Structure 1
Amino acid sequence: MLFYKDISIYYGKIFPLNPVAVKFLEEEFNGKKKILDLACGDGKYSDALLTHDRDITGVDLDKGMLEEAEKKFDKRKNIKFIFGNMLELSSVFKRERFDAVFCIGNSLVHLTSTNKIKKALRELNSVMQNNGKLVVQIINYNRILNENINFLPTIKNEDIEFIRNYHRHGNSRIIDFHTILKMPDGDIESHQELYSLTKDELIFLAEKEGFTLESVYSSFKKEEWNDQSLQSVFVFVKN
């Protein structure tokens, strides 16, 4: 994934740790001891959820991100970061089973078809314990599609400016996620395809693969979901 390779060393400045998201995950994963951070990026959420009696594994497909995670956090025996594809989790974890999984940061929609998303959910089911919790966070694509939104708010701070554009061709469900990272020494421009997955689609696919929806929110603050939400946060339980 060239997009993440390009921005991996700046990722923490673009997307700093969100304490509200950490609190949400702590509440949902209360009592959970073996946690999988799927598409872990630079590993900051794995680290934030780590306690002495938890084992946390971060998985990502981008080696640059994993290098950042290992450099910052891979210093204790109960946290590890490994290279892996969410479409091949049953091969990556042949014996391990997790009682909690989270996939946040709009990561699931990097799979560009419902067939791939369904496959990922099936693979997740295979590596989770019964009654395990699954948290998924994505952009609210109901809003994106209904209102033909072609950009996300620019992220700007004292270090960087990160411009995020969405381009669709006609009625295609594939979005060209075009980003420009403005830096003092030059811009980094990238393109990444995303699938515009709606709320009901994800619920339908998850239920087909053995999950029951527990809750869906408009943010990690547990606000009620609505069509104008900027994001969608789902909590599923494995049957």
Structure 2
Amino acid sequence: MADAKATAAQLTEQDYGDDPLKVRTTDTYQNEYVQSFVEKWDELIDWDARAESEGDFFIEALRARGAKKVLDVATGTGFHSVRLREAGFEVVSADGSAEMLAMAFENGRKRGHVLRTVLADWRWLNRDVHGKYDAVICLGNSFTHLHSDRDRRKALAEFYAALRHDGVLILDQRNYDMILDDGFKSKHQFYYCGDNVKAEPEYCDDGLARFCYSFPDGSQYHLNMFPLRKEYVTRLMGEVGFQNVTTMADFQETYRQDDPDFFIHIAEKLHPDER
């Protein structure tokens, strides 16, 4: 793992070998977020547009559950970590990409915050991240970087262990059900708000969703992810031990939204006496 991270830090271009569609392992993410891609990530996100589109959804969801100490396990370039800090939460920012964490730290510094960053692989999260948290957030479709059922179960168990009793996990994902069953038709409203930036699947089957990210300067990057079905994720959460799993769609209740771009799962870790 350490060697892979060191190699990733030296890469300037993505390399999927002779057949990119055969690259279906969790460790792939370590070489996908090359420096040049990370430097363009905020063009894709557009912090101001994304803040406007999602409003205070996550802030309100955390406050409603009494959360104060939050572990952001998919920090990326720091968007949610910074927003939560500005809203008064105590935040620890973790990610598996050293390049992303460096960018997050710099983004935080520009906004007057010193982020507490930790480089951590979710499968061994509690080895590197210490203490207990009121909430764990895993946002930005990041959970789909895990390509095996075993890795997903291990990661969820690590999230569960990092929470206090009565803690909450908030995890989002693309609507892969729609992509697999009906094809891709993103409204590009909520999560990726950058102007003239495209994030679309080049290929998708039951075991791989290969997305292409195209930028105005003509550059392109890819991510190989696993197309998670919504019911699978909610069932997995329950099997790991989470209770009261609620799923929202594009920041709304699912039954009010047709063909949402994203699902947001909110799962509770209840005290044994409350189950």
The interval holding the TM-score normalised by the smaller chain is: 0.7 to 0.9
Q: Would you say 1:90 and 2:126 are equivalent positions?
A: yes
1:220 equivalent among 245, 251, 256: 251
- Which protein has the bigger strand share? 1
Q: 1:22 to 1:210 in 2, by over 3 A?
A: farther
* CA distance in structure 2 between the aligned counterparts of 1:225 and 1:83, rounded to whole angstroms: 38
Q: C-alpha displacement at 1:156, in angstroms?
A: 7.6
SS at match of 2:213: strand
* Contact 1:39/1:60 (<8 A) preserved: yes
Q: C-alpha displacement at 1:213, in angstroms?
A: 3.4
Structure 2 unaligned runs (5+)?
1-28, 271-275
* CA distance in structure 2 between the aligned counterparts of 1:153 and 1:225, rounded to whole angstroms: 16
* Contact 2:45/2:193 (<8 A) preserved: no
Q: C-alpha displacement at 1:16, in angstroms?
A: 2.2
* CA distance in structure 1 between the aligned counterparts of 2:199 and 2:179, rounded to whole angstroms: 17
What's 2:3 paired with? none
Q: C-alpha displacement at 1:238, in angstroms?
A: 1.2
Structure 1 unaligned runs (5+)?
none
Q: Would you say 1:11 and 2:46 are equivalent positions?
A: no
What's 2:269 paired with? 238
1:110-145 residue CA offsets vs partner (Å, 9 max, x unmatched): 111222111110111111111111111110111111
What's 1:29 paired with? 62
Q: Which amino acid aligns with 1:194?
A: M
* Contact 2:118/2:128 (<8 A) preserved: no
What's 1:55 paired with? 90
* CA distance in structure 2 between the aligned counterparts of 1:122 and 1:194, rounded to whole angstroms: 20
2:142 equivalent among 107, 129, 140: 107
Q: C-alpha displacement at 1:22, in angstroms?
A: 5.1
Q: C-alpha displacement at 1:21, in angstroms?
A: 3.2
Q: 1:219 to 1:152 in 2, by over 3 A?
A: closer
* CA distance in structure 1 between the aligned counterparts of 2:108 and 2:148, rounded to whole angstroms: 33
Matched residues, number: 230
SS at match of 1:224: helix
Q: 1:162 to 1:228 in 2, by over 3 A?
A: closer
- Identity across the alignment (%): 21
Q: 1:213 to 1:174 in 2, by over 3 A?
A: farther
1:83-106 residue CA offsets vs partner (Å, 9 max, x unmatched): 11111112112x411111111110
TM-score computed with the length of structure 2 as normaliser:
0.75
Q: 1:230 to 1:52 in 2, by over 3 A?
A: closer
What's 2:76 paired with? 41
Q: Which amino acid aligns with 1:92?
A: D
TM-score computed with the length of structure 1 as normaliser:
0.85
SS at match of 1:48: helix
* CA distance in structure 2 between the aligned counterparts of 1:222 and 1:73, rounded to whole angstroms: 32
Q: 1:193 to 1:99 in 2, by over 3 A?
A: same
* CA distance in structure 2 between the aligned counterparts of 1:194 and 1:130, rounded to whole angstroms: 31
SS at match of 1:45: helix
Q: Structure 1 residues 31-40 or 215-224, which shifts more?
A: 215-224
SS at match of 2:122: coil
Q: C-alpha displacement at 1:222, in angstroms?
A: 4.2
* Contact 2:198/2:213 (<8 A) preserved: yes
Q: 1:151 to 1:178 in 2, by over 3 A?
A: farther
* Contact 2:197/2:213 (<8 A) preserved: no
* CA distance in structure 1 between the aligned counterparts of 2:160 and 2:219, rounded to whole angstroms: 37
- Which protein has the bigger helix share? 2
Q: Structure 1 residues 105-114 or 47-56, which shifts more?
A: 47-56
Q: Which amino acid aligns with 1:16?
A: D
* CA distance in structure 2 between the aligned counterparts of 1:39 and 1:122, rounded to whole angstroms: 16
